[in-house]
Amino acid sequence: MALDPARTVQELRELRELTGDENGAQRVAWTDTWEQARSWLRDKVASTGAVEEIDAAGNQWFTLGGGGGKALLIGGHIDSVPNGGWLDGCLNLVAGVEVLRRIAEEGAPPVPVRLVNWADEEGARFGRSLFGSSAAAGSMRDQDELAKLTDRDGVSLPDAIGRYGVSLDRALDARSQLENAGAYLELHIEQGPVLESMDIPLGVVLGTFGVERSRVTFRGQAAHAGSTPMDKRRDALAGAARLALEIREIARSMGGVCTMGSVVTRPGIVTSVVETAECLLDQRNLDADQLGGMLSQAKKAAQRAATEEDVEVEWERIWSIEPILFDETLIGFADDAIREVSGTSHKLPSGPLHDAAEVARAGVPTVMLFVQSLRGLSHTKLEDTKPEHLELSVAALDRLASRTLEWLAHS
C-alpha cells in the first residue's frame, strides 16, 4: 500500500463532519467532543498495529515497532479552539497516520516510530497553552497556578483533567516519553500569509520566535481640555503614540515583529489631557540578540518620545521567552523533502508557539513543516488550505520521515 495523500484530505473532512458544526471545529480539550476525536484517531491508527498509550499528562501515543534505538516522533494536537478551523493541529496527526500506514506496510521500522497527539495545545478552556507537551518536556512549572484555574462555568482545571485520568501531581511523569526520542517532526498549517504571498505551497520552519512582553507607562499631567494651551500640555498619550509609530521601523530594521496591542488612558475622559497611557508591547524575533536589540531600541525611542512630550516613561517586563531554534540537520532534510515534492522551498520562522517548541526545548532534534494557509487565517471556521497543497504536505512529511528514519537508524 503506497502513501495515499488524498485519503488524508478525505479523513480530515470526515473529522470535520464528526466534531464540527456550522461555526467550525469544536474539539476543545477535556470535553466529550475532544474524547470523540481521540477515539476516532485510535480507530484510524488501528490497522497499522501501533500500540496506544495515554501518558500521565493526557498525551495519546501510538508506537510502531518495539526495537531499540532512538525513536522517530511525529506529533500534533487534535484539540481546537471553540469555533476553530478544520486543519489546525489535526493535519499533523491525520497526515502522520498516513505515514505510519506506509511505514507499517513496509515491515518493522529500524527504530520505533511514534505518533503523539498532544493534550490541550490550545489552552482554549483554561487559558494555559501547550499543557501536554510542556509536561512531557519537563518545562511545566506552574502547577500551583494551574490548580487555581477555572473555566467560564466554574469547573476547575484539576476536576476537568481528572475526568480523563490526569492529575497535576503526576503530569510531569510524562517526561519519560521523551527519554528515547531521537527526532520530532511536526507538520502544521502556516496560520499566516507568507507562503501564500510568495505562491509557495510548503516551507521549512527555522524555529519559533522569542518574545519580550512589556508594560510601558507614560505619565504626564491631567489638565482641562479647554483651558490648557497646546504648548503647555504634558500629554502621556502623545508619548505613547510616538512609540507606537517608532516600533514599526524598529521591527522592520531588525527582522522581527512589534505590536502595541493595548493602550489604556487615564483619566480617559474627553475633557482632559491624558495623564497616564499604559501600553502593552509585544516584540518577537527569531534571533536572541536582535530581540534584545529591539527591546533596547524601543526603550530609547520611548525615552526620546517622553523627552519631546515632557512626560515620564517607565518599563516593566511582563513575560519573556527565548527564541527556540530547530535542528540544522533536520532543517536540511525538510528542505530537501519539500523541494522533491513541490520544486521550491522557503525557510521561515514561526510567530506562534507550537508543541514542537516544547519538544525542542527538551533537547530533542526537532523540525516543522508549514503548508500554506489561504488568506493567512486560522482559529476561525474560515481557515483553509487547498486540497492539492494538503496532499503535497503529506508527501513532504512522508519523505522527511523516511530520511529521518534512515538517519536515526545509522546514528
Contacts with Zn ion, residue ranges (CB under 5 A): 88-89
Q: Which is nearer to Zn ion, 191 or 402 (CB)?
A: 191
Q: Which is nearer to Zn ion, 88 or 196 (CB)?
A: 88
Contact 119, 137 (CB under 8 A): no
Least separation in angstroms between residue 283's CB and Zn ion is 22
Q: How far apart are CA 48 and CA 112, in angstroms?
A: 13
Burial of 6 (0-12, 13-18, 19+ CB in 10 A): middle
Least separation in angstroms between residue 122's CB and Zn ion is 7
Q: Which is nearer to Zn ion, 89 or 323 (CB)?
A: 89
Least separation in angstroms between residue 86's CB and Zn ion is 12
Least separation in angstroms between residue 121's CB and Zn ion is 6
Q: Which is nearer to Zn ion, 89 or 182 (CB)?
A: 89
Q: Is omega for the bond preceding 387 within 30 degrees of 0, making it cis?
A: no
Q: Which is nearer to Zn ion, 89 or 365 (CB)?
A: 89
Least separation in angstroms between residue 302's CB and Zn ion is 34
Least separation in angstroms between residue 25's CB and Zn ion is 11
Centre a 10 Å sphere on the Cβ of residue 26 and count the other Cβ atoms it contains. Answer: 19
Nearest in space to 102 (alpha carbons), one of 404, 394, 409: 394
Contact 265, 276 (CB under 8 A): yes
Q: Which is nearer to Zn ion, 195 or 238 (CB)?
A: 195
Q: How far apart are CA 142 and CA 139, in angstroms?
A: 9
Least separation in angstroms between residue 278's CB and Zn ion is 31
C-alpha cell at 264: 489604556
- C-alpha distances in Å from residue 163, one per residue of 118, 156, 167: 17, 11, 9
Q: How far apart are CA 339 and CA 373, in angstroms?
A: 19
Angle of CA points 166, 171, 177, to nearest 5°: 110
C-alpha cell at 146: 494551574
Burial of 103 (0-12, 13-18, 19+ CB in 10 A): buried
Which residues are 315's β-sheet partners?
A: 216
Residue nearest to Zn ion (CB): 89
Least separation in angstroms between residue 111's CB and Zn ion is 26
Residues contacting residue 38 through CB under 8 Å, at least 6 positions apart = 60, 78, 117
Q: How far apart are CA 214 and CA 211, in angstroms?
A: 10
Q: Which is nearer to Zn ion, 88 or 383 (CB)?
A: 88
Q: How far apart are CA 401 and CA 369, in angstroms?
A: 12
Matching residue, cell 483554561: 126
Least separation in angstroms between residue 407's CB and Zn ion is 26
Angle of CA points 193, 197, 200, to nearest 5°: 100
Contact 332, 151 (CB under 8 A): no
Q: Which is nearer to Zn ion, 11 or 88 (CB)?
A: 88
Least separation in angstroms between residue 91's CB and Zn ion is 9
Three-state secondary-structure class, residue 267: coil
Least separation in angstroms between residue 29's CB and Zn ion is 12
Q: Which is nearer to Zn ion, 88 or 98 (CB)?
A: 88
Q: Which is nearer to Zn ion, 117 or 402 (CB)?
A: 117
Q: Which is nearer to Zn ion, 103 or 195 (CB)?
A: 195
Nearest in space to 234 (alpha carbons), one of 310, 301, 312: 310
